[in-house]
Structure 1
Amino acid sequence: MEPKNIDHLFRHHSGKMVSVLTRVFGLKHLEIIEDAVQDTFIKATLSWRKQQPENPEAWLTKSAKNRVIDIFRKLNTERNLIPKLTQGTQTIAINELFLDTEIEDAQLRMIFTACHPKLDARDRISFALKTVSGFSTKEIASALLTKEDTIKKRLSRARKAIQKADLKFNIPKGEMLHERLESVLEVLYLIFNEGFHSNTKEQLIRTDLCGEAMRLCQLLLKRESMRLPKVYALFAIMCFHSSRLDAKLNSNNELLDLKHQDRSLWHFPLIDLGNAMMNKAVETNTFSSYHYEAAIAAEHLRAKTFEDTNWVKILRWYEALYNLQPMPSHVLTMAVICVQNNESSKASYYFDLIHPEDLEQRAYLYYAAKADYYAKILNETEAIKHLDMAIKLVTNTLEADYLRKKKSAILKIK
């Protein structure tokens, strides 16, 4: 099996295995469990070079489970560490916890444990990305726009907080469920965003992460208590954005912006599903940030051509989003919309409100957008200057190539 396929399996199954093994052996042994799952994939990388098993998923699950038991045997404490799990009066065999429905339940428990209020808010997100979706520290740092060392400290703090508070591996109920759901949705949103617009150097789109975020969001929607308008709205966002994934790159693996995408490549069944989710999402008088973002995405999809885009309506949605969630990235997008709508003075007003450093790893987007603004008002010198700044700061090679092409186009005009 190719290494990239093993990586895909790891991404897809490590969170499942860590979750269900944690349900078996307990949160206090989480670090041992994570190491065991990691060991299992290293073993798979080596043993599958010549021949892979008929059912790779089953092999990985069994191997991870056995690896944990082996570790406990070496510690000579297995009898105390393998609990007797009961449901009502009936004992559940450990093997039955590896059924699909039980794995889903274990993953929901892990998501809500990771988002427990006893954990620092920043630590929750890092911890959830690690345990639920198998992110590496490097990938978490990229998703959260921070340093790897910072992520390592957050993960360490989260594990210590879990031990100290002796947290239970369960799904909260009532008001506690709704409070913790906010953090859960934020984590799923981040996972999806890292897939849709990755910060990694070579890959701009990571469909496996988009798929993982959608799968976890669907897990929430399977539970009646979690079928809330904001959950439907988040899933609608994921559907709308995923529908455009096949159109974001051309056959030469070059990045295409919304203006140059082939709209016939958009996946309309996903758009229809997103619309169905939005119909459920708007059955409320209170709109979340996910509602506004979904409305913006839907408006882009509604336009038959780029020129048909209703920028006035999109700007109105963004203003509402900013009032609810004041972020520099929203201000930047409002500036971009005004550039598209030929409102240069209004665009300039929004640009003046932004400090590029506030965008951290995405600061290059400010300079790229400002370059578009200067190109629009025919100041090619400043446009090139800002494109050079964007190219200097961008990390993804596809985006860097995209910006260089924009620069070449301006130089030809000049």
Structure 2
Amino acid sequence: MTEAPGAHSPAELVEDLFRREHAHLVSALVRVLGPSNIPLAEDVVHDALVSAMQAWRFGLPRDPKAWIIRAAHNRAIDIIRREQRHRSFLPELATTTALTDTIEAALAPAAEAAGELAMMFAVCDPKLSRETHVTLILRWLCGLSPREIGQAFLVDTQTIDRRLHRGRGHLRELGRLPDVDDLPDLDTRLGSVLRSLYLLFNEGYHGSNPQDPVRPFLCDDALRLTELLLDARATARPEVHALAALFSFGTARLSTRMDEHGVFVPLEDQDRSRWDRARIERGLIHLAHAATGDRMSRWHLEAGIACEHAIAPSVRETNWDRIIGFYQLLAEQSPNPIVALNRALAVAERDGLEEGRRELVALAAEPKLSRYPFYWAALADLERRAGRHTAAREQYEHAIALARSTAERAAFERRIESLRIS
């Protein structure tokens, strides 16, 4: 056993490893055991975690990942042998040799992508709700517990348990996880998968959890799963590249979105020298691949907007004309008050504060925006920049009253403080 450099407690390291390996282990075991035995697969993975936490109390093995995969392998074989008389398993597990070989192959690194891809398309069946899709992805492909998922979406654990129950019930009907290449409704399912990954990314980028509104690991998971789609011929589509580009540009800015005090930092105040240039380059490559074909999806437009922000040296030097054009197309394709809000802010940068303010005021009757703190903060910002500090203070106070987290509230309070200084 050896201590990992800069390690925290073994329990924390095991938990981090477990989260990262959860998707691989669960999807691999579900492929072996069959979707009707998802609870059994989860039990195997949980037992492997418990074994690791007990065995690693006094130090970590040289290869923790290999250790936990071997523990899952051994535990799966033990449970299958014990349960074979009482459960329906796939024919491949009929003999001891076949059982060992099948488990070994399923847990091998070469099978990791195929297992996760099959699992993702199975859980994103259009018959299930979008909330259920995201819940199942967070549980089985990101390794979050029901309690953590409930905290992310501000619902109780019982609600998450019901969604998981529906998901398990649906998967039991499949018999086997699907082969993505053979899915008759591939296009419909792919749409569900992409929307779910978008919601997953947004939850990590600026989510609803008041204590933890930015969780980079969820953004990274969304990007990882999107790029996984690009490894399969059937799903390597331009719109998938566009979504991967959007996520790449977004993750490039994550380190500057909050300061050392846990307060949100506006785009104009972010230190662009700290943006991840490798991620931006990765986004540009994805965007180039997305340019093939003849369809301009929502993801193309959002990635185009994100790209202009990512490559601009400053807010002042941003190509606002292109951004407004993208927002206009996006509004025509997917009408949404948040899109209209963002377009109005871009108009303020290109055409002047009063023109942007006029468009924002015209949106005041939108029910969704009336409860959205960033609408009032946007109005306040334009008033502040125009020198109307009394009006700005009122709008910031409205935003504070609607703030969903300490990070949001502190950002708005900081703006009010700036009014006193100026």
TM-score by length of 2: 0.85
Which consecutive residues of structure 1, in runs of 5 or more, have no partner in the other structure? none
Partner residue of 1:214 out of 209, 223, 231: 223
Determine if the alignment matches structure 1 residue 38 to structure 2 residue 46. yes
- Cα distance change of structure 1 residues 41 and 384 upon mapping to structure 2, 3 Å threshold: farther
Counterpart in the other structure of 2:271: 262
The corresponding residue for 2:62 is 54
Aligned to 2:256: 247
Distance 2:364 2:121 in 1: 35
Match of residue 325, structure 2, among 316, 321, 333: 316
- Cα deviation per residue 1:61-85 (whole Å; 9 max; x = unaligned)? 2333444455555656378536416
Whether 1:374 aligns to 2:383 is: yes
Q: 5+ unaligned residues in a row in structure 2: which ranges?
A: 1-7
Q: Do structure 1's residue 271 and structure 2's residue 286 form an aligned pair?
A: no
More displaced, 283-292 or 55-64? 55-64
CA distance in 2 between counterparts of 1:257 and 1:126 reads 30
Deviation at 1:347, TM superposition (A): 3.5
Residue range with higher mean Cα deviation, 134-143 or 168-177: 134-143
Describe the shift of the 1:98–1:161 C-alpha distance in structure 2 as closer, same or farther (beyond 3 A): closer
Tell me whether 131-140 or 294-303 shows the greater mean CA deviation.
Answer: 131-140
Counterpart for residue 345 of structure 2: 336
Please identify, of 65-74 and 397-406, the stretch whose mean Cα deviation from structure 2 is larger. Answer: 65-74
Correspondence list, 1:4-403, <5 A: 4-71=12-79, 75=83, 77=85, 80-81=88-89, 83-84=91-92, 93-141=102-150, 148-163=157-172, 165-166=173-174, 168-172=176-180, 173=182, 176-250=185-259, 254-341=263-350, 342-353=352-363, 358=368, 363-403=372-412
**How many angstroms apart in 2 are the aligned matches of 1:125 and 1:198?**
13
One-letter code of the match for 2:368?
D
C-alpha spacing 1:120/1:243, structure 2 compared with 1 (3 Å): closer
Shift of 1:294: 0.7
Write the letter of the residue equivalent to 1:329.
Answer: I
Letter matched to residue 340 of structure 2: V
In 1, the alpha carbon distance for the partners of 2:86 and 2:132 equals: 31
Q: Distance in 2 between matches of 1:72 and 1:146?
A: 35
Q: 1: distance between equivalents of 2:210 and 2:85?
A: 45
Alpha-carbon shift at residue 101 of structure 1 (Å): 1.6
Kindly tell me: are residues 331 and 154 of structure 1, through their superposed partners in 2, closer, same or farther at Cα, counting changes over 3 Å? farther
SS across alignment from 1:308: coil
Shift in Å, 1:378: 3.7
Classify 1:378/1:294 alpha carbon distance in 2 versus 1 (closer, same or farther; 3 Å). Answer: same
| CA shift for structure 1 position 317 | 0.8
1:19/1:131 contact within 8 Å kept:
yes
Paired amino acid for 2:18:
F
How far does residue 351 in structure 1 lie from its aligned partner after superposition? 4.6
Distance 1:93 1:168 in 2: 15
CA RMSD after TM alignment: 3.0
Change (3 A) 1:254 1:143: closer
Go from structure 1 to structure 2 and tell me whether the alpha carbon gap of 1:99 and 1:251 turns closer, same or farther (over 3 Å shift): same
Change (3 A) 1:407 1:369: same
Task: Assess if the C-alpha contact under 8 Å between 2:32 and 2:102 holds in 1.
Answer: no
Secondary structure in structure 1 of the residue aligned to 2:335: coil
- Would the alpha carbon gap of residues 370 and 43 (structure 1) be closer, same or farther in structure 2, given more than 3 Å must change? farther
SS at match of 1:135: coil
Mapped partners of 1:406, 1:167: distance in 2? 57
Distance (Å, rounded) in 2 between the aligned partners of 1:198 and 1:105: 29
Matched AA of 2:20: H
Q: Write the letter of the residue equivalent to 2:105.
A: E
Q: 1:370 to 1:153 in 2, by over 3 A?
A: farther
2:185 alignment partner, SS class: helix
Secondary structure of the residue aligned to 2:58 is: coil
CA deviation vs aligned residue, 1:328-361 (integer Å, no higher than 9, x gap): 321222233334443435544345435676369x
Would the alpha carbon gap of residues 304 and 376 (structure 1) be closer, same or farther in structure 2, given more than 3 Å must change? same
- TM-score w.r.t. the length of structure 1 is 0.86
Q: Contact between 2:134 and 2:197, CA under 8 Å: does it hold in 1?
A: no
Is the CA contact 1:21–1:65 (under 8 Å) kept in the aligned structure 2? no
Shift of 1:308: 1.0
Does the CA contact (< 8 Å) of 1:113 and 1:167 recur in 2?
no
Q: Determine helix, strand or coil for the equivalent of 1:353.
A: coil
Whether the 8 Å contact between 1:230 and 1:288 is mirrored in structure 2 is yes
SS of the aligned residue for 1:307 comes to coil
Give the secondary structure class of the aligned counterpart of 2:372.
helix
Q: Cα distance 1:359–1:148, how it changes in 2: closer, same or farther (>3 A)?
A: farther
Letter in 2 for 1:188: L
Task: Decide whether the 8 Å contact of 2:380 with 2:391 is kept in 1.
Answer: yes
- Partners of 1:13 and 1:116 lie apart in 2 by 24
2:66 aligned counterpart, secondary structure: helix
Instruction: Tell me, yes or no, if the aligned pair for 2:24 and 2:107 is still in contact at 8 Å.
Output: no
